[in-house]
Structure 1
Amino acid sequence: MIRTRSQPLSSHTAALPPASPYFSVILCTYNRRALVLATLACLRRQTLPYELFEVVVVDNASSDGTFHALQAYLAADAFPRRQPGTFWRVRCLQETRNGLSYARRAGLQAATGQIAVFLDDDTFVDPTFLEKLMETYQRTGADAVSGRVDLRWEAPRPYWLSDDMLDLLGFFRPFATACLLPEEISLSSSSFSVSIAALQHAGGFTPFLGKRSKAPMNMEVSDLSQRLRRAGYTLWYNPAVVTIHRVSAPRLTQAFLLGRAYWRGRSEILASYTDLEAYPQSAQRSPATMLSTLWPELTTFLKLALLHRTLIWLARRSRNEHVQVALALAYSWGRFQQQFQLLQHVPALPDIPTILLVHGRDKEALFLYKALLRQGLHCSSAGTTIPLHWLWRHRSSHGQPIGIIHCYQPGAFQLTASQRRDLRFKLWLAHRLGLCIVSTDGGGWWHNVRNHRFTPQRVFERKVLLNSHLVLAYAQQPEQLYQEGKLRSRVHPLPHPALRGALAQPIERAEAYQQLGLSSTQGFIYLCLAYLHSEQELLHLIEAFTEMQSSLWEETQQTQLLLIGRPRDKHESLAILKRAALNPSLHLCMDLAEDDLPLALEASHALVMPHFDLQNAGISVIAMLFYSYERLVIAPRLPRLVGLLPDHASILYAPGNKTALARALHSAQHQCYHHSDQEHLSLDVDQSWQESVQRLLQLYRAVLKQWQKQPAR
């Protein structure tokens, strides 16, 4: 929550330059009333013209009266000026959530400049600080710049405090001249600047890596530097841009430095957790493998504690070397302790859920998985299994659910009876541990093939949906699909992502005809994917196709019905074979299957879905795939398929009505369309899935927030 208070400067508001400033100096403070006022006074004396910069002060819920002191300081500075251009822009905000990252985010939301300059509240800046910083940006074209940070001793420097320890106090002087920062060196956390556009593109600050009152982490700037580099931005260093960092007497103690080293070790381990490329592999490690990662850290700590410290004591080495070993011990212990905590529980990332994608062999689930990773989410996949150690590590933290199990098309899981029981038990356990369960239902052949052999599959899917906190349905009429009130209240309709580019490089139509044994003079070709239908549905289609051929609707154009694969409920269908023998326009390719879909798609003009009047029938992904590749879709008027495709790309008919299907088959010969340029771009598989995941992320956050208050039973 951000609370803004306008300053009593109404008489001077009109004097503000209309143009946006170049710099937005963001100064975050917490319980340092006197120090932040001194920093403000330094900014007031900058040589850069006032119209080129603004100052945003963010009070991070201080309890020492900092906010009121800032208000009084700014009000006292608001007397009328005699000369134009002497008014400086400064605002004061309050951020109630504790944490430096939250305060910096609040400052960014209020900033209007191009470059954000972040300063600690216990720093001084040279009067030419902003002027030289602006020269650096204009000369180098950098995206982020950090200057030199020197130290100001407010108490005598201890004799044992060597130069190699000064970085723990904020000292930053890696080079003597201006240069590009190498990969191994990050921006200074005490004083740095970055383009606001680049900062937003890189994802901003990571709150759990930033400093908080009870956890003084200090890795958010290092993490940001790495993300900026990965995004292709350039980071520069200029020693002429000078900042002075205060070093008070309490910081010149061994206890303070040991605390800094300890939290640095913990911060580095937490920063490694944010590596999205390594997360999927680390999330799937077995408990034994994860425990083995502790051994190197423990070995290092024991060597320092038992060997190095003993040898230094026996050799009567200097106090400085004793302190160095103590710092190394604190750093090593921090790494070990944080690694051990990660084995027990992953950190709760604000507004960023952790996803376990449970899916079968659906190729579209892989598009979802890749899009989730590109969105910057911690996502892993273990097929149709749910590892117990994943459940334990992602259990709710202090009543806040942080993990989501997303079951994508649970009806498509090819599981034995014992595997179904195991998966249902783990979903029940996930409920008990405070995890949220999300399911996606896009329909499948098991709904329209009403064979008793597939009843356990339908029952399993229904039970998974009933135990989900959120059900995502690729349907515009979800209320007609789900009869149970409990389930209907948790259904959220989503448009199905497009799939143009999902298949391998399509082959030429002439080659497809040749491989399928078709003649190029056979005219309009209807395609039916027999492996997604029952024998009765296919016989129904053949009869409708024959009726169309024998009716007065038939014109001079030749037609062909192409059946790919075998009926789902019958391996050998004599009835279909007999009709194929009597009708030369019926072409059977029973040995082909899903892997041959690109071949069949290229050879066809229209896809036919011959479903009966079953409310749950229909497969949205197949209809969307053929539409994405400019094929007409002939589909029954069922809840899953109505409204899925635009009118020019589909023909709907009354399900189970042979005459209606025959009319639809005839109409398809006269309905031809091509994608517009805008339509073609919107059907790209990567772009469409990325847009779908952005909507999905909002639903993830909403369900986490909702079930924090009212967990599912």
Structure 2
Amino acid sequence: MHDRSGLPAGPALPEVSVVVCVYTEDRWTDILAAVASVRAQSLPALETLLVVDHNPALRKRLEREYRDEPSVRVCANAGPRGLSAGRNTGITHARGEVVAFLDDDAVADPRWLRHLAEAYDDPRVMAVGGRTEPAWASGRRPAWFPEEFDWVVGCTYRGLPPGRVRVRNVLGGNASFRRTAFDAAGGFATGIGRDGGRRPLGCEETELCIRLGRALPEAVLLTDDRAVIRHRVPAARERFGYFRTRTYAEGLSKALVARSVGADKALESERRYVARVLPAGVLRGLGDAVRGRPGGAARAGAIVAGVLVTAAGYLVGTVRTRRGGGTFVVPPSPTAAGRTPGRA
């Protein structure tokens, strides 16, 4: 049997280590819920690694919380502050054949790991991502917020293909990689993604996936929309101010990715998205406005604004990188440091 990716389906079930990067006690309840969702998987994880980003108080609290749970290990980010270095630390400590990443403010569907793991039946598959659904703090999607921009809140957006399909890159908050992928391509680049600062940067997984494709031209990267997680969207991120800030930051991040892997690869998927998906979204919003449906005109306007602000961020980021700004580091394979058993 074959799926839409053209690859044979099969019951390959490698051992999976799940990495959850955490940084603040403000998300304590979210962190506990994320770990609980991993423990409730129909395919048990080999281990859950909680990587704490330069917060000794949170690390100690988590160590106390899970001291009687041998499958949950707590370790400190061994690199610079930020999500990329935290993920690299998790890779270093992971013992599974596959390393999966789950956001600290998300919960996974009980069959999440099973759907990810099954896709590795083909040895060419180096990365598998899933679908991330928003859990709005207000209980419903804001009327003005277009589904085409759900990536703003870390979720799967309208325009991505359904089913199990090949993609250029997976989305970092719901993704997995074969350990050998890091041996070939190195780890997540620091200086691109989030670092605990005010500006919500991203794209570190995009840069890694493009680098992986260059290192292993035969590599296959997939998404499977049955591998579902639900990502909490706080009230502050339901506002247009955050939308504007995040889209601008995305432009800055894309400029860094373009510097690393070239503009052709960095913007390959984005060109199709801007040329096809977004115009259709504008027309859909205007059509809803004509029919008197709430939010239609606002959604169309948000799409246009999102494109313009992202483009502005990209232009500014491009100028900065040409002047030598925006440094980032591509580390060697985090697996080279070896695996550290037990509590780190």
Classify the TM-score, shorter chain: 0.7 to 0.9
Aligned mates of 1:257, 1:338 — CA distance in 2: 18
Q: Which residue of 2 aligns with 1:6?
A: none
Deviation at 1:167, TM superposition (A): 2.2
Q: Which residue of 1 aligns with 2:36?
A: 41
Q: Which amino acid counterpart does residue 41 of structure 2 have in structure 1?
A: Q
Q: How large is the Cα RMSD of the aligned pairs?
A: 2.5
Q: 2:166 pairs with 180, 198, 201, which one?
A: 180
Q: Which residue of 2 aligns with 1:333?
A: 312
Cα 1:57–1:328 change in 2 (3 A) is same
Cα 1:332–1:132 change in 2 (3 A) is closer
Aligned mates of 1:157, 1:204 — CA distance in 2: 35
1:37–1:70 Cα contact (<8 Å) kept: no
3-state SS of the aligned residue for 1:209? coil
Deviation at 1:254, TM superposition (A): 0.3
Aligned mates of 1:229, 1:141 — CA distance in 2: 11
Deviation at 1:99, TM superposition (A): 1.0
Deviation at 1:139, TM superposition (A): 5.9
Q: 1:160 pairs with 127, 144, 148, which one?
A: 144
Q: 1:237 pairs with 223, 245, 267, which one?
A: 223
Q: Deviations over 1:161-196 (max 9, x none)?
A: 122122212222623321222x4xx20121100111
Q: 1:93 pairs with 70, 75, 96, which one?
A: 75
Q: Which residue of 1 aligns with 2:3?
A: none
Aligned mates of 1:270, 1:277 — CA distance in 2: 10
Q: Which residue of 2 aligns with 1:267?
A: 253
3-state SS of the aligned residue for 2:229? strand
Aligned mates of 1:95, 1:237 — CA distance in 2: 28
Aligned mates of 1:107, 1:128 — CA distance in 2: 22
1:24–1:117 Cα contact (<8 Å) kept: yes
Deviation at 1:103, TM superposition (A): 0.5
Cα 1:70–1:276 change in 2 (3 A) is same
- Identity over the aligned pairs, expressed in percent? 27
- Is the aligned partner of 1:25 residue 2:18? yes
3-state SS of the aligned residue for 2:133? strand
3-state SS of the aligned residue for 2:66? helix
Q: Which residue of 2 aligns with 1:203?
A: 186
1:148–1:242 Cα contact (<8 Å) kept: yes
Aligned mates of 1:34, 1:206 — CA distance in 2: 29
Q: Deviations over 1:53-102 (max 9, x none)?
A: 11111010237x42233122202x44xxxxxxxxx522101126211111
Aligned mates of 2:43, 2:233 — CA distance in 1: 27
Aligned mates of 1:191, 1:122 — CA distance in 2: 11
2:131–2:228 Cα contact (<8 Å) kept: yes
In the TM superposition, 1:237-256 aligns within 5 A as 237-256=223-242
Deviation at 1:340, TM superposition (A): 2.3
Larger Cα-atom Rg: 1
3-state SS of the aligned residue for 2:17? strand
Deviation at 1:238, TM superposition (A): 1.3
Q: Which residue of 2 aligns with 1:324?
A: 303
Q: Deviations over 1:549-601 (max 9, x none)?
A: xxxxxxxxxxxxxxxxxxxxxxxxxxxxxxxxxxxxxxxxxxxxxxxxxxxxx
Q: Deviations over 1:415-449 (max 9, x none)?
A: xxxxxxxxxxxxxxxxxxxxxxxxxxxxxxxxxxx
Cα 1:178–1:321 change in 2 (3 A) is closer
3-state SS of the aligned residue for 2:211? helix
2:187–2:330 Cα contact (<8 Å) kept: no
Q: Deviations over 1:396-421 (max 9, x none)?
A: xxxxxxxxxxxxxxxxxxxxxxxxxx
Deviation at 1:140, TM superposition (A): 7.3
Q: Deviations over 1:185-226 (max 9, x none)?
A: x20121100111112211221111121122432111111111
Q: Which amino acid counterpart does residue 23 of structure 1 have in structure 2?
A: V
2:190–2:330 Cα contact (<8 Å) kept: no
User: Which TM-score applies when normalising by structure 2?
Assistant: 0.74
Q: Which residue of 2 aligns with 1:69?
A: 61
Q: Which amino acid counterpart does residue 41 of structure 1 have in structure 2?
A: A
3-state SS of the aligned residue for 1:207? coil
Aligned mates of 1:236, 1:351 — CA distance in 2: 23
Aligned mates of 1:141, 1:197 — CA distance in 2: 11
Cα 1:257–1:345 change in 2 (3 A) is same
Q: 1:137 pairs with 120, 125, 128, which one?
A: 120
Aligned mates of 2:152, 2:328 — CA distance in 1: 26
- Which 5+ residue runs of structure 1 have no aligned equivalent? 1-20, 79-87, 279-311, 353-374, 376-713
1:33–1:69 Cα contact (<8 Å) kept: no
3-state SS of the aligned residue for 2:177? strand
3-state SS of the aligned residue for 1:116? strand
Deviation at 1:159, TM superposition (A): 1.1
Deviation at 1:351, TM superposition (A): 7.8
Deviation at 1:133, TM superposition (A): 2.0
3-state SS of the aligned residue for 2:156? coil
3-state SS of the aligned residue for 2:319? helix
1:198–1:228 Cα contact (<8 Å) kept: yes
In the TM superposition, 1:443-454 aligns within 5 A as none
User: Which TM-score applies when normalising by structure 1?
Assistant: 0.37
Cα 1:210–1:60 change in 2 (3 A) is same
Runs ≥4 residues deviating over 3 A = 346-352
Q: 1:189 pairs with 166, 172, 184, which one?
A: 172
2:192–2:328 Cα contact (<8 Å) kept: no
Q: Which has the higher contact order (CA 8 A, sep 6+)?
A: 2
Aligned mates of 2:49, 2:71 — CA distance in 1: 8
Aligned mates of 2:258, 2:52 — CA distance in 1: 30
Cα 1:159–1:130 change in 2 (3 A) is same
Q: Which residue of 2 aligns with 1:108?
A: 91
1:149–1:170 Cα contact (<8 Å) kept: yes
Cα 1:243–1:277 change in 2 (3 A) is closer
Cα 1:59–1:349 change in 2 (3 A) is same
